[in-house]
Amino acid sequence: MVSMKDISSACGVSVATVSKALNNHEDVGAETKRRIREVAKQMGYFPNSAAKALKTNRTQNLGVLFEEDDHSGLTHDYFACVLDSLKSAAEERGYDITFINSCRTRPNRMSFLEHCRYRGFDGVIIVCVNFLDPEVLELVNSDIPTVTIDHLFNNTCAIMSDNVKGMRDLLHYIYDMGHRRIAYIHGTDSSVAQRRLASFYKTVAELGLDIPDEYILPAAYRDTKAAYAATEKLLNLKQRPTCILYPDDFACYGGINAISERGMRVPDDVSVAGFDGIRIARHIEPKLTTLKQDTELLGRRAAEKVISLIEQPKTTLIEQIVVEGEVYVGNSVGKIQPELP
């Protein structure tokens, strides 16, 4: 392996001068820098990352904690887009990303914090996990710079989708299309689900709508079977809804299947709307009306914030950054004549 000493011998300069040239110090002339770098390249020199980490106290590596309930992994439409953006933004700034081992059945496994210390991560982005897990709380409360996505801790930077405004905007669009009997099959067991449901109730109250309790049903995210079963219940009601909202776009297709198997059509007989804005929903008929979240900006902001915490710890604010989405108008919500009160 080529060392700085080898380069210094080839160039006829000191090892210190080689080090300064390769690290772009100002007290080495431009021509000397150019010559040393050229020789280093010709000799196949690459800096040792472990040695550089010892010197700078940084590994240029970010940990990513991603552990979702349905075990869809990187095939998860929404999170895959967030992670792709996060990866690109980190790489632009010279950082790599490594997933934190979350296999609970692995013998002698480390805790999340132990894994982060073992790998020497400069910072961590928590994308999806059980945020009440004691291991997660231990990591969040450690001295490792940490940023969460779509969950808020008091002492941690958070990048949040504006689920409250998103739900409000989506409901206003559906209302403007003439719908007054609007059902909501909502997600479960997360702060995101709670915010969306609270925004739903607040918005229907502002619009003066009277939504019966039987119109509100739970179903896990990305669970097409649960969405199918909940849709069946809604369709069996004496006065069924004219529009059904789903916890996410993927689950929405379970509802569409239930509607289709009744010999009914979307949106002619029942309108539907999703949430998230996954790409495939824009290419299947009927094109899904949904709240399209800005996954590119979510991932980018998360990478930027954690790197700022690493490189500028004294001046980086612990804050909540809210990223707005927008209503994507497909053709799954039909326009109807509003019913008279």
> What would the mean pLDDT of 299-319 be, rounded to a whole number?
94
| Alpha-carbon distance values, 167 to 111, 184, 222, 316 (Å) | 36, 11, 18, 31
Domain containing residue 182: CATH number? 3.40.50.2300
In this predicted structure, what is the pLDDT of residue 273?
98
The residue with greater pLDDT, 198 or 71, is: 198
- Domain match, 126 and 138 both: yes
- Domain match, 142 and 262 both: no
pLDDT digit string, tens, across residues 262-305 = 999 999 999 999 999 988 888 888 999 999 999 999 999 999 99
- The answer to whether position 336 is within a domain reads no
pLDDT of residue 233 exceeding 80: yes
Q: What is the domain extent for residue 189?
A: 163-293
pLDDT of residue 142 exceeding 70: yes
Instruction: Supply the DSSP string of 121-177, one letter for each residue.
Output: -SEEEEEES-TT-HHHHHHHTSSS-EEEES---TTSEEEEE-HHHHHHHHHHHHHHT
Q: How confident is the model at residue 71 (pLDDT cuts 50, 70, 90)?
A: low
The residue with greater pLDDT, 68 or 255, is: 255
- Domain match, 212 and 232 both: yes
Domain containing residue 40: CATH number? 1.10.260.40
- The answer to whether position 288 is within a domain reads yes
In this predicted structure, what is the pLDDT of residue 341?
66
What are the tokens at 299? Answer: 């991932």
In this predicted structure, what is the pLDDT of residue 4?
84
- Domain match, 179 and 157 both: no
- Domain match, 182 and 153 both: no
In this predicted structure, what is the pLDDT of residue 105?
67
- Domain match, 123 and 27 both: no
In this predicted structure, what is the pLDDT of residue 6?
87
- The answer to whether position 98 is within a domain reads yes
pLDDT of residue 322 exceeding 80: yes
Give the integer Cα–Cα distance in Å for 71 and 59: 29
% of the chain surpassing 70 pLDDT: 93
In this predicted structure, what is the pLDDT of residue 24?
78
pLDDT digit string, tens, across residues 149-169 = 998 888 899 999 999 999 999
In this predicted structure, what is the pLDDT of residue 253?
95
In this predicted structure, what is the pLDDT of residue 184?
98
Give the integer Cα–Cα distance in Å for 321 and 157: 8
Average pLDDT along the chain: 90
Structurally, how many domains does the chain consist of? 3
In this predicted structure, what is the pLDDT of residue 267?
97
pLDDT of residue 101 exceeding 80: no
- Domain match, 150 and 80 both: yes
% of the chain surpassing 90 pLDDT: 65
- Domain match, 153 and 168 both: no
In this predicted structure, what is the pLDDT of residue 324?
96
| Alpha-carbon distance values, 174 to 100, 156, 208, 255 (Å) | 41, 36, 14, 17
The residue with greater pLDDT, 335 or 119, is: 335
pLDDT digit string, tens, across residues 30-69 = 899 899 889 988 888 776 655 555 555 678 899 999 876 6
Of 9-18, 31-40, 129-138, 156-165, give the range with the top mean pLDDT. 156-165
Q: How confident is the model at residue 325 (pLDDT cuts 50, 70, 90)?
A: very high
- Domain match, 234 and 252 both: yes
What CA dihedral angle connects 9, 14, 18 and 23, to 10 degrees?
170
- The answer to whether position 54 is within a domain reads no
Is residue 65 classed as helix, strand or coil in its secondary structure? strand
- Domain match, 287 and 168 both: yes
> How many CA within 13 A on the CB side of residue 319?
11
For 54, counting Cβ atoms within 10 Å of its Cβ (0-12 exposed, 13-18 middle, 19+ buried), the class is exposed
Span of 3-17, 295-309, 324-338 with lowest mean pLDDT: 3-17
- Domain match, 224 and 288 both: yes
